[in-house]
Amino acid sequence: MRPWRRATVVATLIAGVELVLLIVCGAVLVARPLAHAVQRRAQSHAHKATPAQPSPVRKALAQQHAPPPKATHTRAQTKVLVLNGNGRTGVAHEEAAKLQSLGYDIAGAADAHRHDYATSLVMYRRGYRPEGVRLAHDLHVSVVGPLDGVRVSALHGGQLAVILGAR
């Protein structure tokens, strides 16, 4: 190869790399303001548009934020399984004693399968949502939901389960 050809190839490669870098930098500089503009436009459009029929998602959110119906079972009629999900020794038994002093019937206190729960949560069987919300209120727990990943048979006859997390 002749020296001028080698120099031309090297200069072309350098120019190509610079072009790619300029395109990437330009995309980064333009993408962020463009994304913010698109987000503001979508938010303003969402505020202007009010659907005649609420979507299923809106209905579900409204039901979650609606006050739960009154509990039909007393605390004494509600059996609670207390599970330790934070790994500290004796926490489940302490919490079970506290719940028993509040009038709840305790189905058992044991360790959860995992010990990495960051927050405590209350889970309820079908038809026991009001009792689950009441229990969460009694324990100052903000996460309440239906049984998820726990078999009804694992509740030892209980209707509610409390998994104690790190907080």
Sequence-ordered strand ranges (E) for the chain: 79-84, 105-111, 121-124, 143-146, 160-164
Q: Tens place of pLDDT for every residue, the chain, 167 residues?
A: 578 888 899 999 999 999 999 999 888 888 878 888 888 887 776 666 555 555 565 555 555 555 667 888 899 999 999 999 998 999 999 999 999 999 999 999 999 888 888 899 999 998 899 999 999 999 999 889 888 777 778 888 899 999 999 87
Q: What is the pLDDT of residue 139?
A: 92
| Burial profile 70-99: b = 16 or more Cβ within 10 angstroms, e = fewer | ebeeebeebbbbbbbbbeeeebbeebbeeb
Domain boundaries, given as residue ranges, for the chain: 3-50, 79-164
Q: What is the pLDDT of residue 53?
A: 54
Asked if 144 contacts 161 with a C-beta cutoff of 8 angstroms, the reply is no
| pTM greater than the 0.85 cutoff | no
Instruction: Say yes or no: domain 79-164 is CATH 3.40.50.2300.
Output: no
